[in-house]
Chain A
Amino acid sequence: MIRSLLITILTIFFLERDLTPGYVPMSQPMIADSLDIELIPLYDEDSVLEGYTAFVFTPICEEDKCYAVEIDFFWDAIGRYDHYDTIPGQPLTKLEHEPFTPEEYEKLHQILSEPASVLANYKKEDLVQDIEEEGVDGVSGATINEIKESVISGAVYSCYTLWHIVHGKVVDSIQSLTYRSLNDQLVKKMVHRKDQQINYFLINIFSEEDFHNYLPHLLYTIENGQGYYAKNAIEKMPASVFEDDRTQDFFTEHFESLNYFAQISLLKKLDPQSINSELKTTLRNHLSERNSQKNELIRILIGIENN
């Protein structure tokens, strides 16, 4: 009993992360479709969605011995794995009921934290190769080389199964749930994270209406975007959004700071019939001696002939 408590304390100590357990479920837990996993939304002090947790109970068989794993998982609002907690009195064990060491608890967290793990590429039956030993019938298998670094010895199937749960269909379910929960407060909070993955999540999931409703937040992501984000966001935005004055004012102010490829995408999206005079002036100021696609597009927009 004391040992379980100690282990629980140790795990909590090792695994203190962003999502603190000081939450109050605001509504009934939502059942994720097509999974036996019940996702419970978590909220911050201002009652804005923070992430999700789920209790997972699953049998796992290491070689011939099966046992139950009980574990709590935590994800952020877009389904990225955050951390796990063991259930008090239910430590994680390896083969022969050997308990995880503190290092192994930490290693499991590292394995689960890797979205591009090699575990994604293998089927359960391929994890271990049968070794035939002389004189003895098919004994213990050997973990294949390619995944050795990504698993805990004696807990190969646990690592595999848990990784696949954490990064599996539940992610789609989380993303659907989050989408259904979107409101101004939540979107504002999400974009202020300045997290490119969150930004891409939003622009990939937004409907045309969403782009209009959340326009200021969307423009905020463009202002703070890296690499191709601005270009991709502009390409995702429906044409109607560009007729909105707020959009045009934004690009009047920020055209200069967009990279070349974002500028091109913007110029392709703008309609010469509907751009306002401030934006036109800004674009005119960006004409250069060098002829490029950008130049040609600007000339079309502001009504100069291209030769």
Chain B
Amino acid sequence: MKALMILLICLLSISPGMSKDKKAVFIQTESFDQKGGWFIDQQSMDVMGSPYLLAHGMGTPVDDAMTKVVFPEKGKYRVYVRTRNWTAQWSDVPAGRFQVLIDGKPLDKEFGVSTQEWSWIDGGTVDIKSGVAHVALRDLTGFNGRCDAIYFTAEKNDVPPNDPDQMDKLVEELTGKKRTVEEGEYDFVIIGGGMAGTCAAISAARLGVKVALIQNRPVLGGNNSSEVRVHLGARINLEPYPNLGNLVNEIGPDRGGNAQPKDYYEDDKKLKAVLAESNISLFLNTHANKVETKDGKITKVYAENIETGEIRGFSAPLFADCTGDGTIGFLAGAEYMTGRESRDRFNEPTAPLEADNLTMGISVQWFSEDAGYPVAFPDIEWGLPWNDEKAFAIKKGDWDWETGMGKDMITETEFIRDYGLLVVYSNWSYLKNDYSKKAEFANERLKWVAYVGGKRESRRLVGDYILTENELRNQEFLPDGTAPTSWTIDLHYPDPENLEKFDGEAFRSIAKHTKIYPYPIPFRCLYSKNVSNLMMGGRDISVSHVALGTVRLMRTGGMMGEVLGMAASVCKEFEITPREIYESHFADLEELMLKGVGDPDLPFTQTYNKGGTLLETVE
């Protein structure tokens, strides 16, 4: 009897989202025991509340996701499923349909077929015969059905809330306590594990700084990872600091090319380099979404595991926002810019007359392979209307498959990514089933389509200096120049023909380049103007939209990371802020930049995509 009591107490305390009082269970799909063929998508979690599972099957239904659920007691429960119909705004036919199975038996309804927005769908009632049931998600289409959470309730009129904060409260209420928080203290906390963040972490670690690197995906690299597949670009080892870039050279992939096979991107190379540094504590699958500040400084960043929901607190005297979206800066109240500035704001020749929101877009890249035999692809009913004239009879979609230009890159990411998927599938389904020369594509099998959208531009945090087109064009070097940007000013616009053919929702882009000479980015562009212990690196630094055109390239971002790591070591040594480095300890940073943190003897063989920049001297 006593053993039974102990067992019951144990069961009660370890079950997710279960309370002694309320007979309800709240399950986050991302924490299912087995994901099957479903992927965790966290890219929009700050907007819709939580990571969700996505059935990214490219037309082939993916394997079931399953988990074991412990119920407070047997009996009848009403089931609510949080989901959405992602094609609702374009078609009457839903693309991503799935079922929910309880102990092997599907609920009567199909899900992913109703509302355009994320909502709780009433799935009817189910009889839970024992204290435990197996819950599964069964994908029916392979076309990006998605499920965020499932709520079982034995209470009457107990519809779960759709608001993210209220959902969090509900979960807390059900478990009877707040989600556990682990705490850690570091010298330097970097949020964002793309090229900039990864290089910042390794650079700081090699200089004796204790680092936490927080990354919200299972792999490092960001847009250079195998999840997005954009190759590195721009140059390293340039004057005035020719040893900046040695670390980029150590961890960069050997081969170039966008939308290439997975192994081109060498995710493990970056991971190994980080794991080799004992000063780095790495947190993958961890998304930072809360910040505590005091007296204009960040004291702590909270991040949650995108699978388990476990929260960790990271305390440090110094932080770096390498999130791309400037998320941490935003949460901390840092000044930031978005959109395209007007011409008279900075007097930039390439700026538009009026300010607007026509930023660069998100890329959902893809490619097919020759299977050697005929391969079918579903003739989808929910695609955009297509014809021979609209079709792109190609086997790869590269950087110029770009959506969302003009939309809000923070709040509308999911829509933008979904539109990217929609056009890829609409085009491919047409090529395979209706195209006049479909025989040419008979043996082609869709091999890879990104589901993590490759973003180019969102928030830019404001520093003590804002770099603009003018300094770049006129080579107006500043005394606090650091990593040189060397790509052309490369800005993207909706392809005019595509814009017209698709009623203003373009998905192809064109690039316009302005050649520049390499220009060292001022250090004052790499720390926040009003949050005194926050630095930034990557595409969220203090530049105008036009200047972003050149600094956004990933070798450049990597070098910014090297500089951030060096700055962190100077901050640590003298117990100062980044601004104080600029004001009184810049010589220390210069010394480190001259020396570099990477291997100076490693030959540079990653000669791809260096760009059409002007160079003063022939190399």
**Whole-angstrom distance between the alpha carbons of A295 and B590 in the complex?**
12
Q: Which residues of A contact B520 (CB under 8 A)?
A: 261
B475 / chain A contacts, CB cutoff of 8 Å = 226-227, 259
Contact (Cβ within 8 A) A227 B584: no
Expressed in whole angstroms, the Cα–Cα distance for A232 and B615 within the complex equals 13
**Which of A289, A291, A295 has the most chain B CB atoms closer than 10 A to its own CB?**
A291
The interface residues of chain B lying within 8 Å CB-to-CB of A296 are 587
Whether A122 sits at the interface, judged by CB under 8 Å, is: no
Chain A min CB distance to B531 (Å): 22
Q: Which residues of A contact B583 (CB under 8 A)?
A: 289-291
**Which residues of chain A come closer than 8 Å to B585, judged between CB atoms?**
291
Pick from A228, A259, A293: contact of B591, CB under 8 Å: A293
CB B590 to nearest CB in A, in angstroms, measures: 4
Known interface pairs A196-B616, A200-B616, A260-B481. Does A290 touch B584 (Cβ–Cβ under 8 Å)?
yes
A292 within 8 A of B: yes
Interface code A80-104, partner B: CB below 8 Å = 1, 0 otherwise? 0000000000000000000000000
Q: Which residue of A lies closest to B612 (CB)?
A: A116
Task: Give min CB distance, B342 to chain A, whole Å.
Answer: 29
Query: Does A231 lie at the interface of the complex (its beta carbon under 8 Å from any beta carbon of B)?
Result: yes
Q: Which residue of A lies closest to B591 (CB)?
A: A293
Cα A109 to Cα B480 with chains together (Å)? 44
Report B594 CB to chain A, min CB distance, Å.
8
Q: Is B465 among interface residues, defined by CB-CB distance under 8 A?
A: no
**A229 within 8 A of partner (CB):** yes
CB distance from B470 to the nearest CB of A (A): 15
CB within 8 Å of A: which B108-165 residues: none
Q: Determine if B478 is an interface residue (Cβ-Cβ < 8 Å).
A: yes
Contact across chains for A292 and B586 when beta carbons are under 8 A apart: yes
Do B477 and A290 touch across chains, with their CB atoms under 8 A apart? no
Type the 1/0 row for A256-278, where 1 means its CB is closer than 8 Å to any CB of B: 00011100100000000000000
B182 / chain A contacts, CB cutoff of 8 Å: none
Shortest beta-carbon distance, B475 to chain A, in Å?
A: 4
Instruction: Please give, as numbers and ranges, the residues of chain B lying within 8 Å of A260 by CB-CB distance.
Output: 477-479, 481
For residues 116 through 169 of chain A, which have their beta carbon under 8 Å from a beta carbon of chain B? none
Query: SS class of chain A's interface: helix, strand, loop or mixed?
Result: helix
CB atoms of B586 and A261 under 8 A apart: no
Is B616 within 8 A of A232, CB to CB?
yes
Given A227-B616, A232-B616, are A292 and B479 neighbors across the interface (CB < 8 Å)?
yes
From residue 175 to 196 of chain A, which have CB atoms closer than 8 A to chain B? 196
Query: A228 contacts B478, CB within 8 Å?
Result: no
Partner of B477, one of A196, A261, A289, A291: A261
A196 to chain B, nearest CB (A): 7
Contact B586 A228 (CB under 8 A): no
A200-B616, A232-B617 given as contacts; is B477 within 8 A of A259 (CB)?
Answer: yes
Chain B 551-603 interface residues, beta-carbon cutoff 8 Å to A: 582-587, 590-591
Asked if B479 and A228 sit within 8 Å, CB to CB, the answer is no
- B313 at interface by CB-CB < 8 Å: no
Contacts of A294 in B (CB 8 A): 479
A227 contacts which chain B residues (CB < 8 A)? 475, 477, 517, 616
B370: interface (CB < 8 Å) = no
Report if A261-B587 is in contact (Cβ < 8 Å); known contacts: A227-B616, A228-B616. Answer: no
Give min CB distance, A211 to chain B, whole Å.
18
CA distance A296 to B586 in the complex (A): 10
Select which of A228, A290, A293 is within 8 A of B582 by beta carbon: A290
Q: Is the CB of A228 within 8 A of B239?
A: yes
Nearest-neighbour CB distance to chain A for B606, whole angstroms, equals 17
- The answer to the question of B240 belonging to the interface, with a C-beta cut-off of 8 Å to chain A, is yes
A229: nearest chain-B partner, CB-CB:
B616
Report chain A residues within 8 Å CB of B479.
260, 290, 292, 294
Contacting residues, chain B, for A295 (C-beta < 8 A): 587
Interface contact B586-A293, CB-CB below 8 Å: yes
| Bound form: Cα–Cα A11–B239 in Å | 44
A290–B517 alpha-carbon span in the complex (Å): 27
In Å, the complex CA distance between A2 and B494 comes to: 53
CB pair B587 A200 closer than 8 Å: no
Q: Which residue from chain A places its CB closest to the CB of B586 in the assembled complex? A: A292
| A228 in contact with B240 (CB, 8 Å) | yes
Minimum distance in angstroms from A238 CB to a CB of chain B = 19
Bound complex: CA A47 to CA B430 (Å):
71
Nearest-neighbour CB distance to chain B for A183, whole angstroms, equals 25
Interface residues of A in 198-246 (CB under 8 A from B): 200, 204, 226-229, 231-232
How many angstroms between the C-alpha atoms of A35 and B591 in the bound complex? Answer: 48
Chain A hits for B517, CB < 8 A: 227-228
State which of A226, A228, A231, A292 has its C-beta within 8 Å of the C-beta of B587: A292
Closest residue on chain B to residue A262 by CB atoms: B477
Taking the nearest CB of chain B, how far is it from the CB of A199, in angstroms?
10
Chain B positions within 8 Å of A261 at CB level: 239-240, 477, 481, 520
Q: Which of A226, A228, A289 has the most CB of B within 10 A?
A: A228
Residues of B within 8 A of A229 (CB): 616
* Cβ contacts under 8 Å, A290 to chain B: 479, 582-584, 586
Task: Give a binary string over A286-306; 1 marks a CB under 8 Å from any B CB, 0 the rest.
Answer: 000111111110000000000
**Cα separation A274 to B582 with both chains bound (whole Å):** 31
B314 to chain A, nearest CB (A): 31
**Alpha-carbon distance A157/B520, docked complex (angstroms):** 42
Q: Which residues of A contact B584 (CB under 8 A)?
A: 289-291
Per the bound structure, the CA–CA distance linking A293 and B480 in Å amounts to 10
Q: What is the minimal beta-carbon distance from A227 to any residue of chain B, in angstroms?
A: 4
- Cα A295 to Cα B479 in complex, Å, equals 11
Q: Is the CB of A200 within 8 A of B617?
A: yes
Contact A231 B582 (CB under 8 A): no
With a cutoff of 8 Å between Cβ atoms, the chain B residues found around residue A264 in the complex are: 240
Interface residues of B in 603-619 (CB under 8 A from A): 616-617
The answer for the CA separation of A229 and B616 in the assembled complex, in Å, is 8
CB nearest to B474 among chain A residues: A226
* A115 to chain B: closest residue by CB: B618
**Chain B residues with CB below 8 A from A293, complex form:** 586-587, 590-591
Complex Cα spacing A260 to B471, Å = 14
A293–B593 Cα gap in the complex (Å)?
11
Q: How far is the CA of A52 from the CA of B475 in the complex (A)?
A: 33
Docked CA distance A196–B616 (Å)? 8
Task: Compute how far the CA of A232 lies from the CA of B326 in the bound complex, rounded to whole angstroms.
Answer: 37
* Residues on the B chain within 8 Å of A259, using CB: 475-477
Mark out the residues of chain B between 96 and 110 whose CB falls within 8 Å of any chain A CB in the assembled complex: none
**Distance from A167 Cβ to chain B, minimum over Cβ atoms (Å):** 12
Closest Cβ–Cβ distance, residue A147 to chain B (whole Å): 17
How many Å from the CB of A241 to the closest CB on chain B? 20
Interface pair A231/B240, CB less than 8 Å apart? yes
Cβ proximity bits B429-468 to A, threshold 8 Å, 1 near / 0 not: 0000000000000000000000000000000000000000
- The CA-CA distance from A296 to B587 in the complex, in Å, is 8
A229 to B615, CA, bound (A): 11
- Most chain B beta carbons < 10 A, residue from A204, A289, A296: A296
> B436 CB to closest chain A CB, in angstroms?
23
Give the distance in Å from the alpha carbon of A120 to the alpha carbon of B587 in the complex.
43
Q: Chain A's nearest CB lies how many Å from the CB of B455?
A: 31
CB-CB under 8 A from B591, the residues of chain A are 293
Which residue of chain A lies nearest to B590 when distances are taken between CB atoms in the complex?
Answer: A293
A109 shortest CB reach to chain B, Å: 22
Chain A proximity of B588: nearest CB distance (Å): 9
A-B contacts, 23 of them at CB < 8 A, read A227-B475, A228-B239, A228-B517, A232-B617, A260-B477, A260-B481, A261-B481, A261-B520, A289-B584, A290-B479, A290-B582, A290-B583, A290-B584, A290-B586, A291-B584, A291-B586, A292-B479, A292-B480, A292-B586, A293-B587, A293-B590, A293-B591, A294-B479
Residues on B facing A (Cβ under 8 Å): 239-240, 475-481, 517, 520, 582-587, 590-591, 616-617
Q: Using a CB–CB distance below 8 Å, which chain A residues touch chain B?
A: 196, 200, 204, 226-229, 231-232, 259-261, 264, 289-296
> Which 3 residue pairs of A and B lie closest in terms of their CB atoms, listed nearest first?
A260-B479, A292-B586, A259-B477
Q: A228-B240, A261-B481, A293-B587 are in contact. List 11 more A-B contacts (CB 8 A).
A: A196-B616, A227-B475, A227-B616, A232-B239, A259-B477, A260-B481, A290-B479, A291-B585, A291-B587, A292-B480, A294-B479
